[in-house]
Amino acid sequence: MRNGLKIATIGGGSSYTPELIEGFIKRYDELPVSEIWLVDIEAGKEKLEIVGNLAKRMIAKAGLPIDVHLTLDRREALSDADFVTTQFRVGLLEARAKDERIPLKYGVLGQETNGPGGLFKGLRTIPVILDICREMEDLCPEAWLINFTNPAGMITEAVLRYSNIQKVVGLCNVPIGMEMGIAKLLNVDHPRIRIDFAGLNHMVFGLDVYLDGASMKEQVINKLTDLENSSFVKNIDGFGWEPEFLKALQAIPCSYHNYYYKAKEMFEKTKAEAEAEGTRAEVVKKLETELFELYKDPNLDIKPPQLEKRGGAYYSDAAVRLISSIYNDKRDIQPVNTRNNGAIASIPNESAVEISCVITKDGPKPIAIGDLPVPVRGLVQQIKSFERVAVEAAVTGDRNLAILALTINPLVASDKTAKEIVDEMLEAHKPYLPQFFKN
């Protein structure tokens, strides 16, 4: 019989894996992990071995009795796992580059999780996550699925609606990045800050901010009108919010709101960057090449600081904090993607939302907020409609639904444009979208 927990990480060859390993090392006293299984596909074998060996060196340096296993056999990794974490990218960075570049030809923003890019990442990813869920039902039915794969909200929605796995939590580093950023703005330690989060993944708002229990929302909003304070994640540079807009909104937007509230500026910036230095995926590909060269160094036994440039800062804090809180029934408050269950009145009960929750051994318990404020409610509902239709398109392989989903999305101004983008991107991603090419 195994002593300690078994963690299975799907997409174990990811450049993010050292973040995760660091998290397990830091929290070992409260989270007795005995096995970490890193699993990847054949195309990721070399990266799996490089990052897996770094993971082993990190654990050896920490002097912990954790066995790291590297495998291409997903079923072997899943067998009797206690927690399954997912961090994979169907089609690798080449697919992301197409998601980002193709829409630009049509005057539409190309971005990993928003608009056409978010749709097609979902269409490629949802069938795979549902396959993993079916294997979990067979091999580790009591395990928790902790999903970090984007688009995290759409994937959580798909698992809740189209699988029998109900012990699922979607996770994103944006809320914890907002907490860290606001703590820095206020020059205080992170644990003293709490934010009331509500909305959807990459569409989440801070409805209030507390420092030692006292609301600091007005002070934070005033600070966020400065350009240098306007973005909380390293991979999105905003333009600064108009003070009048932010003071009237009376909520704290996340960095991804730049794509909706500053759509024109962000499109022009993204297009110019794509022409000058490549899309974000192409930039990340170069960065990852440098990271894996670092990871190869047999003397490296820590997470290199260069990883923060990748955009995954605080991932380990968020992921391992969540796993520990479930395992230890901590009942602390964390923002996660989970079933709404009436917490947000204007979103269906059965839908996935990103919201502050009490984390228990039975999973997240959303903190009810009632209705979303009128200024943000419509946009959140529109994106939830987009997600719902996109999930159905992914499961059924219905081209018409894919076109409808993209037309609903506020970043696309015309059904004709939506159809043209969908058709070109379906062809571009054909190897990863068999459900759309059955006949």
Catalytic residues: 256
8 A C-beta contact, residue 119 and residue 112: no
Straight-line distance from the first to the last Cα atom of the chain, in angstroms, rounded to the nearest whole number: 49
Q: Which residue has the tokens 């007795």?
A: 32
Maximum C-alpha span of the chain: 62
- Cα(204)–Cα(383) distance, integer angstroms: 11
Q: For residue 89, how many other CB atoms are within 10 A of its CB?
A: 19
Task: Give me the residue label for tokens 């600081």.
Answer: 305
Q: Is the peptide bond before 151 cis (omega within 30 degrees of 0)?
A: yes
Instruction: With beta carbons less than 8 A apart as the criterion, state whether 100 and 111 touch.
Output: yes
C-alpha closest to that of 13 among 48, 42, 43: 48
Contact 434, 396 (CB under 8 A): no
Contact 310, 287 (CB under 8 A): yes
314: phi then psi, degrees, rounded to nearest 5? 70, 5
3-state DSSP assignment of residue 184: helix
